[in-house]
Amino acid sequence: MTMKKFIVFIAITSIFVLSLVLCVNAEPFKVAFIMPSTVNDFAWSQSMYDALMTIQEEMGEDEFQFDYSESMFIVADAAAAIRDYASEGYNLIIAHGSQYGSSLVEIAPDFPNTSFAWGSTANVFTDQGITNIFAYEPLAEQGGFVNGVLAAKLSQSGVFGVIGPIETGDAKHYTEGFKAGIESINPDAKINVTWIGSYSDVALASEAAQTHMDAGADVLTGTSQMVVGAIGVAEQRGAYWFGYDVDQSSLAPQHVVSSVDVIWAVALRPMIEMIKKGEMGGKIFTLNLENGGLKIVVNDEALVGKTINDIIQGKIMLR
């Protein structure tokens, strides 16, 4: 081979290799998102959907894409979905629900080049030799505590109502934080808790809210998608509402004082970086007030709206 041909050969090979590398980098990062409810459930699934949309805006659609499967409350179907997405080469599969853990344990070992994430939990199954599962856990009690403090300062009756789904997981933590927050300001507060036994029974949630208010509560709070029924009652009868998962003020702008917005992106960003670098699992991402995973969204219209209104209407005389 002549020198000239050799140089051409090297040049072409380099260009080829370089473009290969660039092509590999130009592959978008693909995420599959499996959830037990819908993206517009105003609670659990919507908050993760919002996070994925945020990441997509940040990284751009060429770099980041996600597909989702809603209403996967049947765990066997979710497992089939997870397995399917994994076989199709998605980089990260988010199984957004604590009921999906056992499915992940079975599936993850079959797909060592795919990363799986689930929550709310602190279990990444390293004791079972699994290295490609991430976990995420919001410290719901922190958000609950802040809501509780605010609630205690605003309440005039000193009676508080909590409308929860089932006494497990985030709901349990949030409620305990809420109670602690109130008691830190008002040790004599009366905090009544009802568990309606379902994440979706809006009618029962609404009736529970009515009952809380009949029992004297002027502050209501709760978690999961059924709270829309309770928020409606708060609006109708003039109670303050404190929300969790997403900013719920749009539903009742004059009554939703603050919401604990769970910013899953705080966990997703480092997770994606780790996966790109080849580390497929084993870390637990905590979302709390310090790292911005929990954000308290305060709605001024509800917080001080009444006071401002009272001053304007002359109900409060200052001079």
Partner 1 sequence: MNNRNFRDLLMALIPFVAFLLALSIGTFLIAILGINPLEAYRALIKGAFGSFNSIADTVVKATPLLFVGLGICIAFRAGVLNIGGEGQLVVGALSATIFCLNFPDLPGWILIIISLLIGLLCGAIWAGIAGFLKAYFNVNEILSTIMLNYIAAYGMNYLLRGPIMDPLQVQLGSFIPQTARLSRAVDLPRLIPTRLHFGTIIAIAFAILVYILLWRTTIGFRIRMVGQNMQASRASGIDVQRYMVLAFILSGALIGLGGAIEVIGVHHRIFTDGSVSGFTGSAGFNGIVAALFGQLHPIGTIPASFLLGALLTGANKMQRVVQIPSALIGALNGLIVLFVVGSEFIRRRQSRIMEKTPEIKGACKINQNEEND
Partner 2 sequence: MEAVIVGIIKSAIRLATPYLYASIGETLGQLSGVLNLGVDGVMLMGAFSAFYTVVRTGNLVFGLLAAIIVGATFGLLIAFINVTLKAEQGISGIGIYIFGLGLSSLLFSVLIGTVQTVKGFAPLPVPWLSGIPVLGEIFFQQNILVYGAFLLVPLSWFVIYKTPIGLSIRAVGQHPEAADSLGVNIVKIRYLTVITGGILSGIAGASLSIALLNVFQQNLTNGMGFIAVALVYFGAWKPQTVLTGALLFSTVNAIQIWIQVKGINIPSDFTLMLPYIVTIIVLTAMAKRHVRPPKALNKPFERGE
Binding site for partner 1 (CB under 8 A): 36, 67-77, 80-81, 83-85, 97-99, 101-102, 105, 120-123, 137, 165-169, 172-173, 197-200
CB 177 to partner 1: min, Å:
13
Residue 143 makes CB contacts below 8 A (sequence gap 6+) with: 174, 177, 244, 260, 262, 289, 294, 296
Q: Which of partner 1, partner 2, none has residue 83 at its interface (CB below 5 to 8 Å by kind)?
A: partner 1
One symbol per residue from 244 to 283: x for binding partner 2 (CB under 8 A), - otherwise; what is it?
------xxx-------------------------------
Work out how close the CB of 254 gets to partner 2 at its nearest, in angstroms, rounded to a whole number.
Answer: 12
Q: Is 197 in the site for partner 2 (CB under 8 A)?
A: yes
Which of 56, 99, 200, 254 forms a contact with partner 2 (CB under 8 A)? 200
* Helix, strand, coil percentages in the chain from 3-state DSSP, rounded to 5: 50, 20, 30
For residues 134 to 173, the per-residue mask of contacts with partner 2, x marking binding by CB under 8 A and - elsewhere, is: ---------------------------x-----x------
- Nearest-10 crossing angle of helices 265-276, 44-59: 50
Q: Is 78 within 8 Å of 41 (Cβ atoms)?
A: no
Phi, psi of 156 (to 5 degrees): -100, -25
At 86 the three-state DSSP class reads helix
Among partner 1, partner 2, none, what does residue 41 contact (CB within 5–8 Å per kind)?
Answer: partner 2
CB of 205 to partner 2, least distance (A): 9
Strand order in the sheet with 64-69: 64-69, 29-34, 92-95, 115-119, 133-138, 284-287
CA distances from 185 to 108, 145, 175, 180 (A): 46, 11, 16, 9
Q: State the residues that interact with partner 2 by CB under 8 A.
A: 38, 40-42, 71, 161, 167, 192-198, 200-204, 206-208, 210-212, 214-215, 225, 228-229, 231-232, 235-236, 250-252
